[in-house]
Structure 1
Amino acid sequence: MGSPIKPPDEDWWDVPVNRRESIWLGLSVAWSMILFGWMSLWTRIGDQNPIGETYDVSTEEYQEKVESYREEAETLDGSIVPPSDDIYVAGIRFQWRGLPVVVETGKTYKFHISSYDVQHGFSIRPEDVLSQHTNLLALPGYEWVIEMEFDEPGTYHVICNEFCGVGHSSMHGVIEVRDEVNV
């Protein structure tokens, strides 16, 4: 057996490739192209990848938007009821400003997501189902607007899934989805 450091004894570069190797290489390249095309197509027409719009925004501007939203909103059982279909949420060590919130089943909401300090992970999952969740990023300096609709009533938990400091594990918020929201 030859050494992995020394070149092989024979002129291996000019040895013709075995027919079976050519077939497997061809199949591998074809399958890779199919997967690449499928992923590209699924990202464009699939329904699982939220894209939304992103805007540059200063921390001060976004703080004003969140506080204005909170002042305009009514409350129900200690939760915010959005005054429109826009919901403003900001990550700040170690809490979510703009949560908890109460929304209606089947209604489309625009979630405006940003951060006041560092990068936070905005992960939403139903209370009873660990395998279903949506992961987004809250970044300082950017306002990400994502449309969301909740089909099932219930409690959805929002956690930070990007380590943001010592109190990271306590960064939790709630989205309460109800069939009707009466204030």
Structure 2
Amino acid sequence: MKNHLPLFALIALLLVVSCKDKEEPAPPHEVGVWALDSYLFINFPSEFEGYEGLAYDIDELSFGNGVVYDDYTLVLEKDGTYSLEIGVTGPDINDAGTWEIDDDELKLESTEDNDNQDWTIEKNEEDDLWLSFETQSAFIPDIYFDTVTQKYIDYLNTLTDQQLDSVSNAISRVVSFDLVYVFERD
């Protein structure tokens, strides 16, 4: 009888090599830590084109009651879970849950507070993730800026905050636009 040991060793070696070739696929590039860098205003009605593309740093916008983000970190894990940590003026906000990308939407399903979020993906690149949602706020139409003289601007600068709010409320309109959260890989 011939010794079949070398043949069995060769078969075992081939099995080990073929198993190593079947590595699991790389995770999607969205997996990782994303830090909010800034905000961008887009998709304004034509009468408000002057606001289109305005960008603000993370600490330049207030979200009511003086709430300003100090930092905002979104962590997307390979296993489909996420964590969110938002540093604000006051107690930090934390959330966790599951995430998925469906076409041009990033869906966050919270397991913490049922505050699910559906973001529209505006830009999705290796180091840039721009997520938006539609919102509303009051803005002054472009026509007022086109017709306002420097003398009127000087006058506005003399008003108290309350008086300025009154003038602003008289000429502003609530409009819908998209607020983009500009994330960068951390």
TM interval, short-chain normalised: under 0.3
TM value normalised by structure 1: 0.27
Structure with more of its chain in strand, by fraction: 2
TM value normalised by structure 2: 0.27
**Larger Rg: 1 or 2?**
2
Q: Considering Cα pairs closer than 8 Å and 6+ residues apart, tell me whether 1 or 2 has the greater RCO.
A: 2
